[in-house]
Amino acid sequence: MITKEIAAAGTSIWLDDLSRAKLTGSDSLSLPSRIKNSGVVGVTTNPSIFNAAITGSADYAADIARLKSHSPEEIVKKLTTDDVRKACDLFSEIYSQSSGVDGRVSIEVDPRLAHDTATTIAEGKDLWQIVNRPNLMIKVPATLAGLPAITELIASGISVNVTLIFSCQRYEQVIDAFIAGIEEALQRGNDASRIHSVASFFISRIDTAVDQQLKIINTTQSLKLLGQAAIANAVLAYELFLKKSNSARWTKFSAAGAHMQRPLWASTGVKDPAYDDTRYVMQLIAPHTVNTMPQSTLDAVLDHGKFYGNTVTPAIEKSHLLLAALTKTGISLNSITDQLEIDGVASFAKAWQSLLDDVDKVRSA
């Protein structure tokens, strides 16, 4: 099976989806089936996923009615943490067998807190205590305010999934925040070997934004660059990961049992139907990486994905040239990724608020 080849090459397959139906179902789309038959070794969630799961199903209506005396925020926290805890339990064997590398389930802090360091830290610690599972990861947006929160949560012995990373510049800040957290964790006497982290580097949204500008420029050179920016950007992020992993500073912490933060390829569903729907998986295979896929992308990989081995490391030099060509064409990738971060935070906050509003309507009915 192709998922075994992907895993053997060093890329862990996580599912970017969770709902009560998937937790309790018995069909091929259920989480137990995905774990058993599709090579899935982890799950990520986000506010949009929970919004779709809870508002798009009657599965939660009884619980909302039972909790109607509570605030919408309290109800949503109860529903989401219950689902995540059950998912953690489904992955407990994988977590144990992989020594904590996989078998992970992520839950995100309230996205409305993305620019509030102190409250993000408090929310992360609260979610960690409520779910109370060692294979949990707390998801924190990679905003400037999120960086010190990442350091503090890691230092407190909490595993973290850093989300909404679009640029290599911000990614380097994320790695540095993680390493600072590991250093502080060791100073506090925490067991660094039990702390794991991933850095969720977003893919498809970059091609969508860059391609739009390339089409506006509409020259022979610009059109040749369509659909190449996102993967090249990710390849250079991986180059940065290799550099940081081999640094003298990290080697010291690695010797103390710490685990380097792994790059995670997120937003790997292809937005443009003209592109191969497995490209953001099969062209991003490399050791020590994770690819979290929506259900449709995982199904496409299982159906017709073609495995070429490590497709990232051999593409490093070409990716430098490609991004240089983008700049020469007039594309400012930094401007695009800055806006994507702003839009990503706003989108998740909007989905979360929509979920709270819908729960409030059901609660009040």
User: What sign for the dihedral angle of Cα 263, 266, 270, 271?
Assistant: negative
Which among 139, 215, 271, 350 is annotated as catalytic? 139
What number of other Cβ atoms are within 10 A of residue 247's Cβ? 14
Q: Is 139 a catalytic residue?
A: yes
Distance, in Å, from the CA atom of 146 to the CA atom of 116, rounded to the nearest integer, reads: 8
CB-side neighbour CA atoms (13 Å) of 133: 26
Question: Which is nearest to 325 in space by CA: 225, 233, 247?
Answer: 225
Distance, in Å, from the CA atom of 24 to the CA atom of 6, rounded to the nearest integer, reads: 27
The conformation of residue 278, written as its DSSP 8-state character, comes to T
* Inter-residue contact 264 to 42 (CB < 8 Å): no
* Chain centroid, CA 53 distance in Å: 18
Checking DSSP bridges between strand 262-266 and strand 11-15, what pairing results, if any? Answer: unpaired
Q: Which residues are catalytic?
A: 139
